[in-house]
């Protein structure tokens, strides 16, 4: 009866725990290990290739190496990217314009043939455009690098002796060059993405800086009204907006808006709203008319699908009367002296930029001495702690109930309560606060 076994011969271990390999094999293994460790440090594609090329004799006994590619070129054109003949290293990923391009010759034929090849008795013609790179060499082994099945590059090994390379050399070259080529391609793409991200990040920072210039650099001093504000974006540019606008007859417009989305599109719509608020001129002013003015223009110029919730109120210094309207915005919180916190009476109405049929209705309230009004965007309520619990209305009201009497310290108190609750959890929405307190 036949018996199948899976036994294999095992080399005895030395007392130190390592396998008893011959000295030559161990030296080769150590060199390979050192190469792999060195490659693991490289994030730059050109440095990775150069490190591998310096140790390529670990795999093939060759005397010279060439590489070429056809990136962004039409057949039969090709670009020589590395040569044993050059004393200067040119980075083919960042300086391709410095590399020579040819349209004829043996190397181009080998590249576009798209298959690994051995030439055992090379006799290069002096008319070949790459003659100086191939002159005197008799053996050639080449392997293409593929992308989606098509040859995009070629690695060429050279030796002065004819018949120097064999089938095993070619198989090793094909495998190594394509594995390295794929790694290099991924590194090059990662490098391009990083550069693009840095450029975009720089542009976003400029957009954010320009956007902040649209907000009041300093809140105005209004008789009998203390003001405070904060503005925090979850990215460099955001979609929140607040403003305090001087109006005729000792009146002031209070505005807070929250544009849908984040980033540049939201910042652009925010800038549009700023312009519309600042340029609207109506005497006597009405909050409802201001929103109608903004809405009609947003429908014409805002990107499709973008809208904004908003609060707009007009405060009369002489009477402490506030007429206001809400366009789909959370009702501000009202602290009546020391009598607790309640929501400001809401007004029905759609957000801005949704439809030209929207109708808004005004409400009004008279602020008594000590009354505090806190306008906010929903990012303040939606911020969460590590457990995923939102800050929410109850915590906002508790913070507002214990806040200082003046608007500036009041805003800082609410912000501090928010940050303590969230404990460093990333923000996923912009948040803004505008506070107004009736003072003597």
pLDDT in tens, 359-386: 999 999 999 999 999 999 999 999 999 9
The vertex-142 CA angle with 139 and 146, nearest 5°, equals 180
38 exposed, middle or buried (CB, 10 Å; 0-12, 13-18, 19+)?
middle
Digit-coded pLDDT (tens) for 13-53: 444 444 455 555 568 788 888 888 888 888 888 888 888 87
Digit-coded pLDDT (tens) for 70-91: 999 999 999 999 999 999 989 9
76 exposed, middle or buried (CB, 10 Å; 0-12, 13-18, 19+)?
middle
Q: Could you tell me if 180 and 227 lie in one domain?
A: no
Helix residue spans in 280-386 (DSSP H): 287-301, 379-382
CA 45 to chain centre: 22
d(CA 113, CA 381): 64
Is a pLDDT exceeding 80 seen at residue 314? Answer: yes
Residue 21 belongs to a domain: no
Residue 272 belongs to a domain: yes
Q: Could you tell me if 418 and 301 lie in one domain?
A: yes
Task: Give the domain range for residue 113.
Answer: 32-192
Q: Which residues, listed in sequence order, are joined to residue 82 by a DSSP beta bridge? A: 67
**Cβ–Cβ < 8 Å for 96, 60:** no
Q: Could you tell me if 177 and 58 lie in one domain?
A: yes
Q: Could you tell me if 152 and 184 lie in one domain?
A: yes
Q: How confident is the model at residue 54 (pLDDT cuts 50, 70, 90)?
A: confident
pTM of the model: 0.65
Sheet holding 372-376, edge to edge: 225-232, 431-438, 372-376, 333-335, 341-343
**Mean predicted lDDT score pLDDT of the chain:** 89
Q: Could you tell me if 115 and 260 lie in one domain?
A: no
Q: Which residues, listed in sequence order, are joined to residue 328 by a DSSP beta bridge? A: 310
* pLDDT > 90 in the chain, percent: 65
**What pLDDT is attached to residue 20?**
52
Q: Could you tell me if 362 and 421 lie in one domain?
A: yes
The enclosing domain of 277 has a CATH number of 3.60.40.10
Residue 432 belongs to a domain: yes
d(CA 61, CA 32): 15
Residue 157 belongs to a domain: yes
| E strand spans, 84-149 | 101-102, 117-119, 139-147
**What pLDDT is attached to residue 128?**
97
Is a pLDDT exceeding 80 seen at residue 236? Answer: no
Q: Could you tell me if 222 and 159 lie in one domain?
A: no
Q: Could you tell me if 285 and 144 lie in one domain?
A: no
d(CA 395, CA 207): 33
**What is the three-class DSSP state of 176?**
helix
Q: Could you tell me if 124 and 261 lie in one domain?
A: no
d(CA 172, CA 2): 38
The enclosing domain of 91 has a CATH number of 3.30.450.40
The count of domains in the chain is 2
Which of 129, 150, 148 has its CA nearest to residue 66? 129
Helix residue spans in 41-77 (DSSP H): 45-54
Q: Could you tell me if 160 and 260 lie in one domain?
A: no
Q: How confident is the model at residue 338 (pLDDT cuts 50, 70, 90)?
A: confident
Count of residues in the chain: 440
**Cβ–Cβ < 8 Å for 95, 112:** no
């Amino acid at each position: 009866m036949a018996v199948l076994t899976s036994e294999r011969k095992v080399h005895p271990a030395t007392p130190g725990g390592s396998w008893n390999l011959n000295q030559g094999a161990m030296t080769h293994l150590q060199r390979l290990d050192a190469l792999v460790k060195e490659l693991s440090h490289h994030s730059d594609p050109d440095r990775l290739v150069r490190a591998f090329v310096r140790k390529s004799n670990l795999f093939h006994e060759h005397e010279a190496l060439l590489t070429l590619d056809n990136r962004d070129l039409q057949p039969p054109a090709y670009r020589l990217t590395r040569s044993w003949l050059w004393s200067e290293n040119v980075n083919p990923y960042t300086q391709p314009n410095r590399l020579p391009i040819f349209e004829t010759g043996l190397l181009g034929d080998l590249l576009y043939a798209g298959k690994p090849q051995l030439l055992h008795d090379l006799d290069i013609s002096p008319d070949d455009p790459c003659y100086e790179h191939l002159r005197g060499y008799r053996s050639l082994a080449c392997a293409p690098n593929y992308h989606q099945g098509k040859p995009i590059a070629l690695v060429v090994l050279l030796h002065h002796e004819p018949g120097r390379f064999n089938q095993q050399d070619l198989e090793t070259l094909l495998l190594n060059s394509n594995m390295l080529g794929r790694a290099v391609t991924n590194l090059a793409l990662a490098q391009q993405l990083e550069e693009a991200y840095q450029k975009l990040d720089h542009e976003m920072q400029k957009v954010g800086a320009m956007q902040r210039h649209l907000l009041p650099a300093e809140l105005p001093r209004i008789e009998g009204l203390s003001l405070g504000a904060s503005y925090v974006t979850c990215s460099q540019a955001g979609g929140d907006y607040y403003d305090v606008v001087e109006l005729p007859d000792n009146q002031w417009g209070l505005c807070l808006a929250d544009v849908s989305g984040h980033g540049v599109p939201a910042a652009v719509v925010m800038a549009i709203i700023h312009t519309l608020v600042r340029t609207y001129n109506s005497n006597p002013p009405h909050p409802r008319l201001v929103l109608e003015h903004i809405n009609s223009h947003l429908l014409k110029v805002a990107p499709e699908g973008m809208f904004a919730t908003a609060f707009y109120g007009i405060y009369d210094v002489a009477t402490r009367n506030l007429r206001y309207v809400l366009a789909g915005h959370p009702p501000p919180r009202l602290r009546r002296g020391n009598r607790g916190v309640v929501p400001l009476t809401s007004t029905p109405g759609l957000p801005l930029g949704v439809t030209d049929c929207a109708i808004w209705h005004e409400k009004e309230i008279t602020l008594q001495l000590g009354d505090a009004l806190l306008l906010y965007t929903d990012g303040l309520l939606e911020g969460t702690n590590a457990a995923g619990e939102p800050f929410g209305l109850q915590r906002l009201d508790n913070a507002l109930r214990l806040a200082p009497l003046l608007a500036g310290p009041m805003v800082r108190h609410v912000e501090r309560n928010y940050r303590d609750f969230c404990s460093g959890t990333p923000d996923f929405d912009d948040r803004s606060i505008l506070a107004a307190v009736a003072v003597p």
